[in-house]
């Protein structure tokens, strides 16, 4: 009874030479809701008023993906691609135009080859699965990627991939060897057949602009048998302002084996409103060494050996996922996909290129207390990051001191509550203007933020795209637009923040 479903299903079954009803879901299919909700990771987009896809397609092979692209093209629906569903603003599964969702969660093979220190990781695999499969084969290898185990490879790597080993090994995309993609003509291409331009574009230029990424071949990196983690808190009363101020000169300059993140959160303590600054660290080495390093470089932190725990690199990944008993738990928890679990949240980003003065930190803490809920994460750069050219990958933010994530989560929601928290995050972002990068102000694509501009893909598409595109990619935006125009001139692969084609001269 649904002509779009019937026409798509017939084409898809014909092209794959098998009946495909079990892999195509229309809104009347009893499994439709559970398939859609399984990978919604932001509860803001899991409401009855959230627009829903006309069809969800769940391919089980590269051939299925190719057929899905070819069969969707003539139907004129927006074609959203979803791997792990962690897009902070839900762009992989929401649209205000009629749309399909191509859900890659069944494409989850991870093949680790220790002999040549590489792995093929499929788009629908999660980072937890990647880390677990590496750990199964070797205790001295790892991969530099994000700290949340349910994040999907497809979105994470196509958008850069940032984690707690970036000071030593760079971003995930600095460790790519090859990739497979389905292009707009349904062809399955590898690095050689897609060419260096398209390979460059999908190494950080964002999923959803150039094709469907099937997976990446990555270089594994060496990790020591023993690493150290710690978490130390300070409050305004115990010297947090000085510690955070000094951290700006230490975090990005210290030994590249150390990743020392600062979490800033307004809290009430002993009935007083204050800011808690929590230093969270991964050190690729022993506890004694990091304690003596930081006693010298950041005495304001007052780090002691008893704050530190030594463990394997894989356990440190569990620990960073807030499993503080990491040395005792079953590593298989990283295979748990935690389906259909989400919180209400909003994220934004910024980059800092010069140290914020002490009185700036003080005024920031005051502002955070006044607003009440939004937290900030300061992520140090430096080390390997500063050695990589700004045009080596689409992500140009290499010579920064640190990146800021604005972060607010809430449990119960209503339109008023949501409006209040979104507004808080915008006010804090605006407050930070004088302290952060400008011309253009920078942003990290994987911390998706539709506040910085969206694209309607009408006649002003290029101009609209330039607004967020320059913030995410700086000068690299121009090369991305040229590649987009060459590989997908009809703009089939598009979303609210995708790369536009060049405006036609007519």
Q: Return the residue of 23, 26, 83, 407 that touches ligand FDA, per CB under 6 A.
A: 83
Q: Is 65 one of the binding residues for ligand FDA (CB under 6 A)?
A: no
Which entry of 447, 462, 468, 472 is annotated as an active-site residue? 447
Within positions 194 to 213, which residues make up the interface with ligand FDA, using CB under 6 A? 207-208, 212-213
Q: Are 167 and 381 a contacting pair, CB within 8 Å?
A: yes
Q: Is 151 one of the binding residues for ligand FDA (CB under 6 A)?
A: yes
d(C-alpha 31, C-alpha 26), whole Å: 9
Between 81 and 243, name the residue whose CB sits nearer to ligand FDA.
81
Between 291 and 483, name the residue whose CB sits nearer to ligand FDA.
483
Q: Return the residue of 104, 119, 264, 303 that touches ligand FDA, per CB under 6 A.
A: 104
Name the token pair of 41: 């990771």
Within positions 154 to 193, which residues make up the interface with ligand FDA, using CB under 6 A? 154-156, 158-159, 161-163
Q: Which stretch binds ligand FDA (CB under 6 A): 148-156, 394-402, 421-429, 465-473?
A: 148-156
Q: Which stretch binds ligand FDA (CB under 6 A): 47-55, 74-82, 294-302, 458-466?
A: 74-82
Q: Return the residue of 54, 58, 274, 446 that touches ligand FDA, per CB under 6 A.
A: 446
Q: For residue 4, give the DSSP letter.
A: H
CB of 93 to ligand FDA, least distance (A): 7
Closest CA to 373 of 397, 401, 345, 396: 345
Number of chain positions touching ligand FDA (CB under 6 A): 33
CB of 164 to ligand FDA, least distance (A): 8
Closest CA to 41 of 130, 129, 131, 156: 156
CB of 109 to ligand FDA, least distance (A): 14
Within positions 114 to 133, which residues make up the interface with ligand FDA, using CB under 6 A? 123
d(C-alpha 265, C-alpha 376), whole Å: 7
CB of 127 to ligand FDA, least distance (A): 8
Between 156 and 397, name the residue whose CB sits nearer to ligand FDA.
156
3 state SS of 41? coil
Q: Is 92 one of the binding residues for ligand FDA (CB under 6 A)?
A: yes
d(C-alpha 4, C-alpha 291), whole Å: 63
d(C-alpha 135, C-alpha 129), whole Å: 10
d(C-alpha 120, C-alpha 98), whole Å: 34
Distance from first CA to last CA of the chain, Å, rounded?
42
Name the token pair of 91: 């762009």
CB of 432 to ligand FDA, least distance (A): 20
Q: Which stretch binds ligand FDA (CB under 6 A): 18-26, 53-61, 150-158, 351-359?
A: 150-158
Measured at the alpha carbon of residue 221, what is the angle toward residues 303 and 119, in degrees to the nearest 5? 135
Residue/partner pairs of 105-114 with CB below 8 Å, 24 or more apart: 105/38, 105/39, 105/58, 105/152, 105/337, 106/58, 106/59, 106/60, 107/59, 107/60, 107/61, 107/62, 107/65, 107/214, 107/215, 109/215, 112/136, 112/137, 112/138, 112/220, 114/138, 114/141, 114/220
The verdict on whether 351 is a catalytic residue reads no
Q: Which stretch binds ligand FDA (CB under 6 A): 79-87, 243-251, 284-292, 416-424?
A: 79-87
Q: Are 98 and 53 a contacting pair, CB within 8 Å?
A: no
Task: State the residues that interact with ligand FDA by CB under 6 A.
Answer: 41, 80-88, 91-92, 104, 123, 146-148, 151-152, 154-156, 158-159, 161-163, 207-208, 212-213, 446, 495
**Catalytically active residues, by annotation:** 447
């Amino acid at each position: 009874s649904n002509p779009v479903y019937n026409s798509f299903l017939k084409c898809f079954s014909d092209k794959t030479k098998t009946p495909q009803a079990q892999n195509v879901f229309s809104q009347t299919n009893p499994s439709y809701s559970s398939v859609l909700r399984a990978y919604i990771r932001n509860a803001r987009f899991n409401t009855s008023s959230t627009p829903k896809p006309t069809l969800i397609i769940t391919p089980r092979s590269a051939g299925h993906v190719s057929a899905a692209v070819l069969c969707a093209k003539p139907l004129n629906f927006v074609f959203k691609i979803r791997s792990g569903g962690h897009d902070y603003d839900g762009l992989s599964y929401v649209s205000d135009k009629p749309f399909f969702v191509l859900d890659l969660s069944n494409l989850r093979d991870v093949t680790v080859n220790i002999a040549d220190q590489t792995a093929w990781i499929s788009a629908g695999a999660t980072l937890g699965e990647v880390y677990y499969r590496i750990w199964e084969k070797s205790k001295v290898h790892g991969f530099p990627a994000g700290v949340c185990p349910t994040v999907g490879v497809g979105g994470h790597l196509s958008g850069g991939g940032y984690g707690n080993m970036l000071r030593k090994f760079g971003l995930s995309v600095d460790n790519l060897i090859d990739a497979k993609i389905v292009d707009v003509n349904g062809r399955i291409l590898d690095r050689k057949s897609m060419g260096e331009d398209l390979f460059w574009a999908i190494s950080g230029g964002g999923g959803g602009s150039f094709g469907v990424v099937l997976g990446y071949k990555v270089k594994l990196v060496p990790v020591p048998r023993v690493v150290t983690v710690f978490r130390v808190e300070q409050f305004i009363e115990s010297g947090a302002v000085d510690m955070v101020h000094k951290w700006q000169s230490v975090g990005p300059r210290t030994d590249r084996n150390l990743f020392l993140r600062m979490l800033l959160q307004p809290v009430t303590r002993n009935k007083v409103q204050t800011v808690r600054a929590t230093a969270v660290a991964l050190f690729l080495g022993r506890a004694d060494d990091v304690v003596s390093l930081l006693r010298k470089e950041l005495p304001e932190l007052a780090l002691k050996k008893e704050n530190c725990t030594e463990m394997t690199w894989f356990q440190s990944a569990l620990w960073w996922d807030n499993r503080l008993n990491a040395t005792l738990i079953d590593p298989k928890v990283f295979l748990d996909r935690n389906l259909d679990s989400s919180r209400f949240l909003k994220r934004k980003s910024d980059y800092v290129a010069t140290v914020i003065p002490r009185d700036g930190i003080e005024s920031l803490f005051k502002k955070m207390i006044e607003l009440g809920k939004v937290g900030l994460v300061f992520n140090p750069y430096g080390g390997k990051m500063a050695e990589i050219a700004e045009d080596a990958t689409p992500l140009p933010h290499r010579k920064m001191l640190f990146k800021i994530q604005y972060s607010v989560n809430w449990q119960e929601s209503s339109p008023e509550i949501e409006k209040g928290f979104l507004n808080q995050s915008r006010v804090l972002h605006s407050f930070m203007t004088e302290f952060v990068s400008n011309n253009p102000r920078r942003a990290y694509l994987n911390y998706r933020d539709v506040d910085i501009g969206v694209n309607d893909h009408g006649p002003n598409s290029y101009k609209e795209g330039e607004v967020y595109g320059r913030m995410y990619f700086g000068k690299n935006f121009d090369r991305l637009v040229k590649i987009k125009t060459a590989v997908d001139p009809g703009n089939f692969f598009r979303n609210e923040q995708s790369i536009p084609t060049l405006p036609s001269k007519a």
